[in-house]
């Protein structure tokens, strides 16, 4: 890959990250009380976040079709294709655990990072803990991988 491409990719990623953050902020995802009011359907239900998800999904589903019809992305040599397709215990357990944390604090990873960038106190506590949780998973996954290799 040429040096200009990697600079272009980073610049594109930065701008996309910023637009993503503004979308989360405008949509209401960076307000934990709004997130919990959406998740708690028994209370005074705030359906707003269904419109965030619906808008994002519809937009991306429509645009994605003609984006991947091209042979390559504009700045890179190939499109990333997720390798995993199975619905397994790891997927469901991980998602279940993630949901509990999301419902508890009202933050999922993107909005938490955005709120931390804006100096929100709760996010400044939440994000380091989230990174620690990710590192913990990485250590356990790494150890399991090493055990598998030894037993082979």
Partner 1 sequence: MQHLTVLPSLAGGILIGLSASALLALTGKIAGISGIVGGLLAPEAGDKTWRGAFVGGLLAGGFALALVAPGALAATLPRSTAALIAAGLLVGFGSRLGNGCTSGHGVCGIARGSRRSLAATITFMATGAATALVVTQFLAGTV
Site for partner 1 in 48-87 (CB under 8 A): 48-49, 51-61, 63-64, 67-68, 70, 72-80, 82, 84-87
Is residue 131 close enough to count as binding partner 1 by CB under 8 A? yes
Total residues binding partner 1 (CB under 8 A): 118
CB 3 to partner 1: min, Å: 11
- Which one, 101 or 150, has the nearer CB to partner 1? 101
- Which one, 92 or 147, has the nearer CB to partner 1? 92
Is residue 16 close enough to count as binding partner 1 by CB under 8 A? yes
Residues 94-113 within binding reach of partner 1 (CB under 8 A)? 94-110, 112-113
For partner 1, the binding residue among 3, 4, 137, 143 (CB under 8 A) is 137
In whole angstroms, what separates CA 47 from the centre of its chain?
A: 21
Is residue 134 close enough to count as binding partner 1 by CB under 8 A? yes
Contacts from 112-115 at CB under 8 Å and sequence distance 24+?
Answer: 114/21, 114/24, 114/25, 114/30, 115/30
């Amino acid at each position: 890959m040429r040096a200009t491409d990697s600079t272009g990719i980073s610049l594109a990623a930065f701008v996309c990250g910023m637009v993503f953050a503004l979308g989360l902020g405008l949509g209401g995802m960076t307000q934990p009380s709004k997130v919990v009011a959406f998740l708690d359907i028994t209370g005074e239900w705030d359906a707003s976040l269904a419109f965030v998800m619906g808008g994002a999904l519809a937009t991306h589903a429509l645009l994605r079709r003609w984006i991947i019809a091209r042979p390559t992305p504009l700045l890179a040599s190939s499109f990333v294709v997720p390798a995993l397709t199975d619905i397994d215990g790891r997927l469901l357990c991980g998602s279940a655990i993630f949901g509990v944390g999301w419902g508890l604090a009202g933050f999922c990873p993107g909005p938490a990072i955005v709120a931390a960038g804006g100096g929100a106190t709760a996010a400044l506590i939440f994000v380091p803990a989230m990174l620690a949780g990710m590192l913990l998973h990485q250590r356990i996954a790494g150890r399991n991988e090493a055990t598998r290799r030894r037993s082979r």
